[in-house]
Structure 1
């Protein structure tokens, strides 16, 4: 492929530099990372129905309670519900004793938990992406309960 500046004899490294800067800026604007590990309590959900899998994929997500959720560094203007998904589905499923197969009657599993997480990435864009965090350790969790399907 012949580049424009090669055919015209012009050297245009500033265009490449500007493009790289724009890409890096878009990456840093879309997410930020919590600096330290956090211990969070709340509820988790793992939906197995077709519509949920299409919307959020095969993810186990947590909804921290109001008290422990205060540790998550979100801007004051961010009024979205506080929730995130674990970055490693298989690790989280095994650690929370969630069955590998969907329930025979129901649309997934849920339960209460207390966990330690790290590498919390906050999605700051108004899009379909969600926050993610690495599950470091399960401190406590309930036995998974079947989520009833909504009509």
Structure 2
């Protein structure tokens, strides 16, 4: 019986530490989200939803001070981010995606430091505010 109680206490402590690390790792941001459905975007981004933080939010991203790239990233948790941002399975009409403004919380920011094309990634934790999405015109 004591073994079970010790195991339960150990598990509870581990989960508590993991939650605290996740919460300490969270960043609150405001900006614009985009989900593009054109072939080029789908090929390069793999159907991920991406986010372009506003100038104030971009300053708090955990990036190297020497990183001069445009501040933007995509959500690793593809299905959950679409659900949290109310992105429909199919976007109808003659457009190539949707976009909107949002305030959200992210965690586990990973800056892409490889060669060639790549994108920074995060996990979308919560959406605290969002605008109605607007359709994105296709690039010609």
Q: Which runs of 5+ in 2 are unaligned?
A: 1-23
Q: How high is the TM-score relative to the length of structure 1?
A: 0.74
1:50 Cα deviation after fit: 1.0
TM-score (norm 2): 0.79
What is the CA deviation profile of residues 65-103 of structure 1, one whole-angstrom value per residue up to 9, with x for unaligned ones? 110111112122211110000111111111111111023
Q: Is the 8 A contact 2:62 2:109 kept in 1?
A: no
- Bigger Rg over Cα: 1
CA RMSD of aligned residues (A): 1.2
Alignment of 1:133-144 (within 5 A): 133-144=122-133
Structure 1 segments, 4+ long, off by >3 Å, are none
Q: How many residues align?
A: 117
Runs of at least 5 residues in structure 1 that lack an aligned partner in the other structure: 1-34
Q: Deviations over 1:117-145 (max 9, x none)?
A: 01111112242221111111100011111
SS at match of 2:81: helix
Paired with 1:102 and 1:93, the residues of 2 have a C-alpha distance of 12
C-alpha distance after superposition, 1:38-74 (max 9, x if no partner): 0010001100011111121101000001101111121
